[in-house]
């Protein structure tokens, strides 16, 4: 293979070709079982709050509240159960690329079709 | 610079074939995250389609006529609980406690089966109430979205049971944590998709039906 480095290789340049296991081991340890249970309890409470919000009349705050709770639950699962908080940021970049791409594309589609327009 | 990927000796644990990589990260795990990123596009399209056609049905049944929020809330708790058992399976695998790992994997699969069973019951009751995939726009978008999610859960259950089977047959690598982590990533992704579906489809009320 050529000795010329591509920009991607240069970006990665600081890292040697290494055993992935060792590279993974340089990152933080995954949480303990107790921490997993604590996160699961928080998720259960947030879900209960979501369901309660559905039954309580909070007027125009309903949608923002439900979205806020869903985003917090989403982030907790991704960061703690899927370990993005502890693993290499490269995984987070890959995932966020897809997530942000999808969110941007479909928001544009929905805005184009005036879904958020209150008549 | 040397080749992007070169062969190397297996790790000291004699585990799976994980080669040295230019990123220093396992390619399998990177590929899994890329796959999950692409899945965001798929479910984004299905959720957007549901949102786009909310309140556009000309005939009933409408969401308010068929949804049973307490029932679906229990299903959501079941899927959340399965995410906990999945990470406990991973924690056991990392401690090389294979017996507990199998138990937690089986518990996850059982919770997944409970969720899918609940979804089948929900679909059946909706159908009995007159909502089929071709009844109206609500039926079409609802069944396609939640059906795709249900298929993903089913695939996850098959992967979990395969892991248990391979483990019982002693065909998992010495470091069983890696395959368990990969299946776990997929399983948690299915869970986060449900978090969004539960909010957007079930909890946010649909606008009033369009006049005929």
Instruction: For B7-28, write each residue's pLDDT tens digit.
Output: 333 333 334 445 678 888 999 9
Contacts of B177 in chain A (CB under 8 A): none
The distance of Cα B84 from the centroid of its chain, to the nearest Å, equals: 13
pLDDT (0 to 100) of residue A117: 65
Look at residue A17 and tell me whether its pLDDT is greater than 60: no
> Of A51, A78, A98, which has the smallest distance from its Cβ to B41's Cβ?
A98
Look at residue B212 and tell me whether its pLDDT is greater than 80: no
pTM over 0.80: yes
- Coil/strand/helix, residue B5: strand
Nearest to A57 by CA among B182, B205, B165: B205
Burial (CB count <10 Å: 0-12, 13-18, 19+), residue B158: exposed
- In sequence order, the 6+-apart residues with CB closer than 8 A to the CB of A46 are A69, A72, A73, A76
Name residues 29-68 of chain B within 8 A of A (Cβ): 29-30, 33-34, 36-41, 43-45, 47-48, 51-52, 54
CA B33 to chain A, closest CA, distance in angstroms equals 6
Q: Give CA–CA dist A57/B117, Å, rounded.
A: 32
Q: Give CA–CA dist A94/B71, Å, rounded.
A: 35
Does the beta carbon of A86 lie under 8 angstroms from any beta carbon of chain B? no
Closest alpha carbon within chain A to B82: A40
What are B44-99's pLDDT values in tens digits?
999 999 999 998 888 889 999 999 999 999 999 999 999 999 999 999 999 999 99
What are B186-210's pLDDT values in tens digits?
999 999 999 999 999 999 988 877 6
Q: Give CA–CA dist B212/B17, Å, rounded.
A: 62
Average pLDDT over residues A79-96: 95
What are B138-190's pLDDT values in tens digits?
999 999 999 999 999 999 999 999 999 999 999 998 889 999 999 999 999 99
- The answer, yes or no, to whether ipTM is higher than 0.85 is yes
* Selected residue with higher pLDDT from A22 and B160: B160
Q: Give CA–CA dist A68/A72, Å, rounded.
A: 6
Closest alpha carbon within chain A to B54: A115
For residue A18, the 8-state DSSP code is B
Q: Do A66 and B11 touch (CB under 8 A)?
A: no
Q: Give CA–CA dist B36/A101, Å, rounded.
A: 13
Does the beta carbon of A77 lie under 8 angstroms from any beta carbon of chain B? yes
Q: Which helix (H) or strand (E) holds B113?
A: helix B98-128
Nearest to B198 by CA among B133, B87, B118, B136: B118
């Amino acid at each position: 293979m050529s000795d010329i480095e591509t920009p991607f290789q240069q970006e990665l340049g600081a890292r040697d070709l290494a055993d992935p296991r060792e590279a993974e081991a340089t990152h933080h340890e995954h949480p303990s079982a107790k921490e997993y249970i604590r996160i699961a309890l928080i998720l259960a409470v947030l879900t209960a709050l979501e369901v309660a919000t559905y039954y309580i009349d909070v007027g125009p705050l309903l949608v923002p509240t439900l979205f806020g709770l869903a985003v917090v639950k989403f982030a907790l699962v991704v960061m703690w159960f899927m370990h993005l908080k502890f693993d290499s940021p490269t995984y987070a970049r890959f995932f966020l690329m897809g997530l942000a791409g999808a969110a941007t594309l479909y928001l544009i589609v929905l805005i184009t079709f005036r879904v958020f327009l209150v008549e | 610079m040397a080749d992007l990927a070169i062969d190397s000796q297996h790790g000291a644990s004699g585990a799976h074939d994980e080669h040295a990589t230019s990123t220093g990260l396992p390619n399998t795990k990177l590929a899994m995250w890329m796959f999950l990123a692409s899945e965001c596009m798929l479910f984004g399209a299905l959720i957007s389609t549901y949102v786009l056609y909310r309140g556009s049905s000309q005939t009933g049944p409408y969401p308010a006529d068929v949804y049973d929020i307490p029932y679906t809330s229990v299903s959501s708790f079941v899927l959340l609980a399965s995410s906990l058992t999945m990470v406990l399976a991973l924690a056991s695998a990392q401690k090389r406690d294979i017996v507990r790992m199998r138990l937690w994997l089986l518990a996850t699969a059982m919770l997944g089966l409970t969720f899918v069973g609940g979804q089948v019951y929900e679909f059946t009751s909706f159908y009995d109430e007159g909502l089929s995939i071709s009844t109206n726009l609500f039926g079409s978008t609802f069944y396609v979205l939640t059906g795709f999610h249900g298929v993903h859960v089913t695939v996850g259950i098959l992967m979990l049971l395969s892991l248990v089977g391979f483990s019982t047959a002693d065909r998992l690598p010495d470091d069983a944590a890696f395959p368990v982590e990969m299946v776990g990533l997929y399983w948690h992704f299915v869970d986060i998709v449900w978090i969004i579906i539960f909010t957007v489809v079930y909890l946010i009320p649909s606008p009033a039906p369009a006049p005929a």
